[in-house]
Chain A
Amino acid sequence: LLTLLVGTPDLSPVTWFVAATPIIALLVLMVGFNWGGAKAGAAAWFVALAAAYFGFGAGPELLAYSQTKAILLSLWVLYIIWAALFLFQIVSEAGGIRVIGDALVRVTQDRVLQLLILSWCFAGFIQGFTGFGVPVAIVAPLMAGIGFSPFVAVVATLIGHTWAVTYGSLGASFFAIVGVTGQPAEELASPLALMLGFTVFLSGIAAVWSFRGPLSVVRSMPLILIIGAVMSGVQWVMAVNGFYSLSAFTAGIVGMIAMILLTRTGWFDRANPDEQVGIESNSEAPETAMNWPRFLLAIHAYIVLVVMVLGVNMIEPVGDTLGRVAIDPSFPETVTDYGWTNPATESYRSIEILSHPGALLTYTAIIALFIYRRAGLYSEGALGRIVRNAADASVSASLGIVTLVGMALLMMESGMTYLLAQGIADVAGAFFPFLSPFIGVLGAFMTGSNTNSNILFGALQLNTALLLELNVGLILAAQTTGGALGSIIAPAKIIVGCSTVGLVGREGPVITAGIKYGLAITGVIGLATMIVALAFT
Chain B
Amino acid sequence: MKALRKRNALLFDLTLFLSFTVVSFFAYMMTNSFDATGAIASLGLLAVICLVLIISR
Contacts and interface: CB of A to CB of B under 8 A. Distances in A.
Given A43-B54, A60-B36, A64-B31, A398 B24 contact: no
Contact of B28 (A36, A43, A65, A75): A65
B47 A67 contact: no
Contacts of B30: 64
A402 B10 contact: no
Interface in A298-349: 329
A495 interface: no
B42 A67 contact: yes
Interface in B1-49: 9-10, 13-14, 16-17, 20-21, 24-25, 27-28, 30-31, 35-36, 38-40, 42-43, 46-47
B24 A403 contact: no
A91 interface: no
Chain B, interface size: which category?
20 to 34
Given A42-B50, A46-B47, A71-B21, A399 B13 contact: yes
Interface stretch (A190-198, A389-397, A429-437): A389-397
B53 A39 contact: yes
A63 interface: yes
Given A61-B35, A68-B25, A68-B27, A402 B17 contact: yes
A38 B50 CA distance: 9
A61 B28 CA distance: 9
Given A75-B21, A395-B10, A402-B21, A67 B57 contact: no
A71 B20 CA distance: 9
A51 B39 CA distance: 17
B20 to A, nearest CB: 5
A61 B34 CA distance: 10
A477 interface: no
Given A42-B50, A49-B47, A403-B50, A68 B39 contact: no
Contacts of B28: 64-65, 68, 329
A49 B24 CA distance: 14
A403 B25 CA distance: 14
A159 interface: no
Contacts of A396: 9, 13
B43 A67 contact: yes
A60 B28 CA distance: 12
B10 A61 contact: no
A36 B21 CA distance: 20
Interface string A147-184: 00000000000000000000000000000000000000
Nearest to A43: B54
A530 B40 CA distance: 47
B47 to A, nearest CB: 7
Contacts of B51: 42
Nearest to B21: A71
A517 interface: no
Nearest to A46: B50
Given A46-B50, A59-B36, A64-B42, A38 B27 contact: no
A105 B46 CA distance: 49
Nearest to A396: B13
A457 interface: no
Contacts of B9: 396
Residue among B30, B31, B40 with the highest chain A CB neighbour number at 10 A: B31
Contacts of B53: 38-39, 42, 399, 403
B43 to A, nearest CB: 6
B31 A65 contact: yes
Given A71-B21, A402-B21, A42 B54 contact: yes
Given A38-B57, A61-B39, A399 B27 contact: no
Contact of B40 (A60, A75, A392): A60
A46 B24 CA distance: 15
B17 A67 contact: no
Contact of A64 (B10, B14, B20, B38): B38
A65 to B, nearest CB: 6
A205 to B, nearest CB: 37
Interface of A: 35-36, 38-39, 42-43, 45-46, 49, 59-61, 63-65, 67-68, 70-71, 74-75, 329, 391-392, 395-396, 398-399, 402-403, 406, 505
Given A64-B27, A64-B43, 12 more contacts: A59-B36, A63-B43, A64-B30, A64-B42, A65-B27, A71-B24, A396-B9, A398-B17, A399-B13, A399-B17, A399-B53, A403-B20
Interface of B: 9-10, 13-14, 16-17, 20-21, 24-25, 27-28, 30-31, 35-36, 38-40, 42-43, 46-47, 50-51, 53-54, 57
Which 6 A-B pairs rank lowest in CB-CB distance, beginning with the nearest? A71-B24, A64-B39, A60-B39, A68-B28, A42-B50, A64-B27
